[in-house]
Structure 1
């Protein structure tokens, strides 16, 4: 809670009571003096908290009598101010082949009077962007998180504040935000199943982060495990490569990939399901440096179908996500939340189908 000013913490707490119905229309709120005593703050701080709620039209104040919950709640677009723009927060400054989220969002917004504002956390950082956005005049937020477990305290403030909020690619652990995600479970299943159908018996799942920290990665891993289970195969248990600094221009990373490939060959692994295309491409490049051939020495399947996947040699077999569709549905869901449109607003997480793209990195044994 330290990242928020005291007046904002108090406003959030009172806002949550109004949202939950603990404080109902016409109910009187605690006085400035009572708030000061309860939260051990100055009268100036308690007054500012009440002013915050009054500006949002959640409460009204009568001189000499106190503050009361408004009879009817304001429309949600008034939460952050009078603006008619939505914010998209991404974990990358430019699009590194990870899909046309922006195109899909703008396609939906074109039929509305909302506009899109994009910020990336590569310079400012995710935490500071989230702090700033909560105090901004944006009507709502589409959020692509770095993982499912970071900055939970700030994100929970969005939930308490009833802020129109949709996540893409991942769900946030323990907070019931509406999410638009690819069918990661089916993707992991299809990737492993494709290797199994090509007679591979020793198949590894490789990831650069902890499976527990990412909902999308966890679903891919579970899908992989299901395919192995159905085929009577076991997981070699090589999935976690966390904190290795995996980048091909990093000498330490290159050495790590070479050691990884040695372990793959020693364990008789013939098939790899990679966390994503970028990791799969790194492994293919490391294999070339070691004099190994893909798919002759081992086969590999990526995930994402970024542009580079179809340009490298050999061309990468992968699972394709419909990024544009995900962006479109995220925008549709967010506007539904902002304007409280039951016909538009999704009632549960939106799952977008994926498909297997067969290219050249899987060999039949």
Structure 2
């Protein structure tokens, strides 16, 4: 520390002033890392409570930003007359049913966004754009945008309009690379691959899929990618793709009933599968119910694997093997891109990130039964 504290300025304020001086002198540059609060406390001979307050107030004043798990960094100063820093982040959606946000895909994402915002003194709220596509009045707000609805009726022309207005937007769940809008998504192809590879590693060669959609040509983006991951895993084991092993369930919302119907359809085949990849936990639970009603033991006679890792999946009997989408990390990255990575001039190329899901093996999947012929 180059300067000494000679007046009665509170120590937290003294630390702030010294860091500001080092920024103005060029000793600290944009995106340079700062010492941890423990290191700052030692450097200035004070308590961690004091150094924590100094860092928090520097965040509030826009001098410093924080990235979870990485530390505190010097904020890039906006040019005079340029856009103001983001002080509020909104999760914007169009008429989405509020009850759907209790699903872990969203609830975990909200936790991730909220934690990054709180660490940086940023407000976080939800916002329904409604039929008139009205964004918050604050033109400097950051927008985490969900474009999907039950009927996929989002007017994509609005995205172009918002771009022209200079709105700071990152999309989640679905993405539009041709528009150059930053996005964060879960890698559903890898998720489908991990699920199928798990079943293949247990010796299964006849693996059925219960998929949401009307047909292979009418499946939305996320389920189409999960199916691609399924096909990729099969191809790596020199197994042909058999269309009759895909049960399409046409519905607007995931349900247990879809899984039950899909399971019965697949088990009615002349050569039924020995394992089922239900592309959501709700469908997987329905499949487990149908298996029990048909007198089939899980996993001894049929293995069942879901997708989403909803809270009740671990409580099922047997506990449900599934794929966790890691959407808390998705939320963290969406907030970090808005707060720290967007360029006001639009330069630097498309900002994007794909979150890799995690396989969660439990008791509903096991070795292929002897009745199966090895392929």
Same fold (TM over 0.5): yes
2-structure distance, mates of 1:255, 1:191:
19
Question: Which residue is equivalent to 2:120?
Answer: 112
Number of aligned residue pairs = 279
Question: Which residue is equivalent to 1:96?
Answer: 103
- 1:289-300 counterparts in 2 under 5 A? 289-300=293-304
Point out where structure 2 has 5 or more consecutive residues left out of the alignment: 1-78, 369-375
| Partners of 2:266 and 2:272 within 8 A in 1 | no
SS of residue paired to 2:113: helix
Point out where structure 1 has 5 or more consecutive residues left out of the alignment: 1-71, 121-125
Return closer, same or farther for 1:160/1:84 CA change in 2, 3 Å cut-off.
Answer: same
2:228 to 219, 222, 247: 222
Question: Which residue is equivalent to 1:301?
Answer: 305
Is 1:234 paired with 2:236?
Answer: no
Return closer, same or farther for 1:283/1:92 CA change in 2, 3 Å cut-off.
Answer: farther
Choose 102-111 or 325-334, whichever is displaced more: 102-111
Is 1:256 paired with 2:251?
Answer: no
SS of residue paired to 1:131: coil
Is 1:326 paired with 2:330?
Answer: yes
SS of residue paired to 2:135: helix
RMSD after superposition: 3.4
SS of residue paired to 1:222: helix
Return closer, same or farther for 1:173/1:239 CA change in 2, 3 Å cut-off.
Answer: farther
2-structure distance, mates of 1:207, 1:172:
23
Give 1:160 deviation, angstroms. 3.7
2-structure distance, mates of 1:187, 1:254:
19
1-structure distance, mates of 2:253, 2:310:
21
Q: Spell out, residue by residue over 1:268-295, the C-alpha distance to the aligned partner (whole angstroms, 9 max, x if none).
A: 2122222222221222223323333322
2-structure distance, mates of 1:143, 1:321:
18
2-structure distance, mates of 1:296, 1:346:
51
Return closer, same or farther for 1:184/1:244 CA change in 2, 3 Å cut-off.
Answer: closer
2-structure distance, mates of 1:192, 1:255:
20
- 1:129-140 counterparts in 2 under 5 A? 131-133=133-135, 137=139, 139-140=141-142
1-structure distance, mates of 2:315, 2:260:
25
TM-score (structure 2 length as normaliser) = 0.64
2-structure distance, mates of 1:354, 1:242:
25
Give 1:259 deviation, angstroms. 4.2
Give 1:165 deviation, angstroms. 1.0
